[in-house]
Chain A
Amino acid sequence: MSFSVTEPSARTKWLAAVLVVGYALITIAPLLWIIATGFKSPADSIAYPPKVVFEPTLEGYVNLFTDRTRATQDMLDAAGEPKTWYERIVRAQGTVINGPSRYGERFLNSVIIGFGSTALCMILGTAAAYAFSRFRVPLKDDLLFFILSTRMMPPIAVAIPIFLMFRNLGLNDTHLGMILLYTAVNLSLSVWLLKGFIDEIPVEYEEAALIDGYTRFQAFTKVVLPQAATGIASTAIFCLIFAWNEYAFAVLLTSGTAQTAPPFIPTIIGVGGKDWPAVAAGATIFLVPVMVFTILLRKHLLRGITFGAVRK
């Protein structure tokens, strides 16, 4: 290795590593704690001192997906012997299963609304970004700034008229309403990010395609889109994560059919006292996919969180 004045010394590196790893461990501890609590029994979850070593159980996950009541002797007699492994877990707590809980539905709603709005957002966003990148659109800078400024509004501030508008249109508490709303909120991000990605593709490729007899539209679909694939994919993941995590609109505009998981998870309560393992299990299932996506997004993370203002 060549000597360089800017290369930190081995001792500096070692010290930096210790401090950063220390911070990383502190920051990851609450997340590991959530995951661990999901596998604890309710008694272990509220033990003092907090238990680091415990006997793992699926009780939290079973409780998360089932609706239970405390069993009386009559009910136990009527239910008979437990037939499945999860019935056995529920019976051991002195409860019986009434049916599935609402968590499955809420999670599915998150998936439908998340993917639906992301798909729509990418279709509209890619087209708009391409136009802003390649054509002379009148008032281009004003329109771009306008698109960005829509993100400055507190969600609660626009929630009042959106609530009224959705009520008039029959869109309150519907999947379509939430998909349209999240699409509109995410468009600012996707247009700005995608414009940056498309700007980076040399115009010469399309010009060559046009000379070869492609129409403008064909040049867009067959030349630009494949080139922008990575950018489009990372933008899509950002939109998905936003829609997935969104809480304010979800809690105000949905209550039943279209409610997503974030407003639902905090409302999980057990039979007699807050069932923390079930809450933790619900949170784990909801948060882990995002962590996986974060790893996939590593390279474009910075660009995404700053609306493309900072590029690496």
Chain B
Amino acid sequence: MSQSPIQRVAQATPEPMARRIRGLSDRTIAWIFVAPTIFLLLAVNIFPLIWTVRLSFTDFRVNRPNRDVEWVGLENYQRILTDADIWHTMQATAHFLVWTIVLQVLIGFTLAFLINKKFKGNDLWTTIIVFPMMLSPAVVGNFWTFLYQPQIGLFNYVVAFFTGADPASFSMIGDVALAPWAIVIADTWMWTPFVMLICLAGLRSIPDSIYEAAECDRASKWRQFWTITVPMVLPFLMLAVLFRGIENFKMFDLVVQLTGGGPGNTTTLTSIDLKREAFEKWRTGYSSAYAVILFVTVFGLASIYVKALNKVKQR
């Protein structure tokens, strides 16, 4: 094993000096520095996770602590996977996930492409566009209910202004057909800047020389776009999709404030459903199994996706 320069100097210096150089050994410091972080993460993340898995095999209920807890094996899992309501929830989540990602990728990439034209003042406008994603989703969701009010809401007024419809005739969060789109619109408003920023980094990472070479080869702008810009930005775009995918699969705060999962259960995303089972119906064992299924789903999908991402990067 080769020695680091420090060790070599330490050995070559006279004794009193060397002791001062060493102080605590590096290994001790490394452990002192890492241990508190690992400990806290174990206590607040891993320990609860293991506890969730354990609870998922029982019929424990938090609101009845004195009742005997029975082991029910895989019964909770079986009930969840055969429950029609949960498949409905999954569909609502899928609708939300797919449409938010499609819209955010399209709008975000277009914006990044335009900002990359380096017009004067693009920094200022970029900062303004970024504001929504930094704000508290719960507070924003709550306020969007105001924008979505029939008649008095700004959103309804603007839509009515451009379409000629009566602003009191539709309710974005009260209508079964419109509510799934109400949450897609609010989330897109909030998170498009995220995709935009990442795409912008991708676009800025492409060296000018590649375009110059393409220009010499008389490649058309259209061809340059599809053979240079898109493939070079793709790894960045996929990273943005990964982040948005994970975040929106977990989505809770914005939507729970916006629609509360309603009307009916049209916008009951998995996290909202889980919260109801765990903290309103107090079916702790059942909802623990639910949580485990969700976590495995996110983790599994994310792992497959990361593999695909690495393949794209290697190309």
Q: Which residue of B lies closest to A149 (CB)?
A: B299
Interface centre among B37, B120, B295 (most CB of A within 10 A): B37
In the bound assembly, the distance between CA atoms of A107 and B274 in angstroms comes to 28
Tell whether, in the assembled complex, residue B30 and residue A6 are in contact, meaning their CB atoms are under 8 Å apart.
Answer: no
| B304 at the binding interface (Cβ < 8 Å) | no
The reply on A83 being an interface residue by CB < 8 A is no
Tell which of B23, B125, B246, B291 touches A157, judged by Cβ atoms closer than 8 Å: B291
Stretch at the interface among A60-68, A228-236, A294-302: A294-302
Which partner residue on chain B sits nearest A7 by CB separation? B118
Partner of A152 from B118, B246, B253 at Cβ < 8 Å: B246
- Which residue of chain B has its CB nearest to the CB of A244? B136
* A127 at the binding interface (Cβ < 8 Å): yes
Cross-chain pairs A/B with CB under 8 angstroms, 10 sampled: A8-B117, A136-B30, A154-B298, A159-B279, A187-B41, A245-B139, A247-B252, A262-B138, A262-B253, A312-B201
Bound Cα distance from A252 to B284, whole angstroms: 14
Check if A108 is an interface residue, CB within 8 A of chain B. no
Q: Are B44's CB and A180's CB within 8 A?
A: yes
A210: min CB distance to chain B, Å: 5
B72 within 8 A of A: no
Q: How many residues of A contact B (CB 8 A)?
A: 105
Q: Which of A1-56 contact B (CB under 8 A)?
A: 4-6, 8, 12-14, 16-17, 19-21, 23-24, 27-31, 33-34, 37, 46-50
Bound form: Cα–Cα A120–B78 in Å: 42
Given contacts A131-B33, A150-B45, A302-B197, contact A295 B127 (CB under 8 A): yes
In the complex, the chain B residue whose C-beta lies closest to that of A220 is B29
- B195-230 near A? 1/0 per residue, CB < 8 Å: 001101100100010011001000000000000000
Q: Which chain A residue lies CB-closest to B206? A: A6
B120 CB contacts on chain A under 8 angstroms:
13, 17
Contacts A12-B117, A149-B299, A157-B294 hold; do A128 and B33 have CB atoms under 8 A apart? yes
Instruction: Please determine whether B271 and A137 come into contact, CB atoms closer than 8 angstroms.
Output: no
Within 8 A of B (CB), among A239-284: 241, 244-245, 247-248, 251-252, 261-263, 265-266, 276, 279-280, 283
Which residue in B139, B193, B253 is a CB contact (below 8 Å) of A283?
B139
Q: A5-B211, A157-B52, A241-B134 are in contact. Are A216 and B125 (CB under 8 A)?
A: no
Which residues on B are within 8 Å of A, measured CB to CB?
5-6, 9, 17, 20-24, 26-27, 29-34, 36-38, 40-41, 43-49, 51-52, 55, 62, 107, 111, 114-115, 117-123, 125, 127-140, 142-144, 146-147, 149, 151-154, 157, 167, 189, 192-194, 197-198, 200-201, 204, 208, 211-212, 215, 236, 239, 243, 246, 249-250, 252-253, 257, 270-271, 274-275, 278-279, 284, 287-288, 291-292, 294-295, 298-299, 302
Q: Determine if A187 and B37 form an interchain contact, defined as CB atoms under 8 angstroms apart.
A: yes
**A131→B30 contact, CB < 8 A:** yes
- Assess whether B136 is in contact with A124, with CB atoms less than 8 Å apart: no
CA distance A204 to B36 in the complex (A): 27
Residues of A within 8 A of B26 (CB): 135, 216
Which one, A5, A156, A263, A309, contacts B212 given CB within 8 A? Answer: A5
Q: Are B119 and A17 in contact (CB under 8 A)?
A: yes
Q: Tell me if A293 counts as interface (CB < 8 A to partner B).
A: yes
| Minimal beta-carbon separation of B206 from chain A (angstroms) | 10
Interfacial chain B residues near A150, Cβ < 8 Å: 41, 45-46
* Chain B nearest Cβ from A27, distance in angstroms: 6
**17 other A-B residue contacts (CB within 8 Å) besides A220-B29, A245-B135:** A14-B119, A24-B128, A24-B129, A27-B128, A47-B152, A128-B33, A154-B294, A154-B295, A157-B52, A207-B6, A213-B20, A215-B24, A247-B252, A247-B253, A280-B143, A283-B142, A306-B239
Chain A residue at minimal CB-CB distance from B211:
A6
For B56, the closest partner residue in chain A by CB is A160
Given contacts A13-B117, A153-B45, A290-B134, contact A217 B23 (CB under 8 A): yes
Residues of B within 8 A of A6 (CB): 208, 211-212, 215
| Contacting pair A131 B29 (CB below 8 A) | yes
What's the Cα separation between A74 and B302 when bound, in Å? 65
Could you tell me the distance between the alpha carbons of A125 and B157 in the complex, rounded to whole angstroms?
48
Query: Which A residues from 187 to 231 make CB contacts under 8 A with B?
Result: 187-188, 191, 207, 210-211, 213, 215-218, 220
Asked, given contacts A50-B154, A180-B44, A187-B40, whether A157 binds B274 with beta carbons under 8 Å apart, the answer is yes
Q: Are A181 and B44 in contact (CB under 8 A)?
A: yes
Known: A23-B111, A147-B37, A262-B136. A8 touches B243 (CB 8 A): no
CA distance A298 to B128 in the complex (A): 10
- Is A286 interfacial (CB 8 A cutoff)? yes
Q: Give chain B residues whose Cβ lies under 8 Å from the Cβ of A280.
A: 143, 146
Q: Is A130's CB within 8 Å of the partner chain B? A: yes
Contact B111 A20 (CB under 8 A): yes
- Which residue of the partner chain A has the closest CB to B272? A156
In the complex, whether A78 has a CB less than 8 A from a CB of chain B is: no
A247 and B137 contacting across the interface, CB-CB below 8 Å: yes
B165 to chain A, nearest CB (A): 14
6 closest Cβ pairs, A-B complex: A215-B23, A157-B291, A184-B44, A161-B48, A247-B138, A245-B136
Query: What chain B residues lie within 8 Å of A218 (beta carbons)?
Result: 23
Q: Which residue of B lies closest to A274 (CB)?
A: B146
- Nearest CB of chain A from residue B218's CB, rounded to whole Å: 11
Contact for B48 among A30, A33, A165, A210, CB less than 8 A = A165
B141's nearest neighbour on chain A, judged by CB, is A266
**Cβ–Cβ < 8 Å partners of A211 in chain B:** 6, 9, 21
A115 proximal to B (CB < 8 A): no
Cross-chain contact A27 with B37 (CB below 8 angstroms)? no
Do residues A50 and B291 form an inter-chain contact, with CB atoms below 8 A?
Answer: no
Partner of B136, one of A47, A187, A286: A286
Complex CA distance for A180 and B47, rounded to whole angstroms: 14
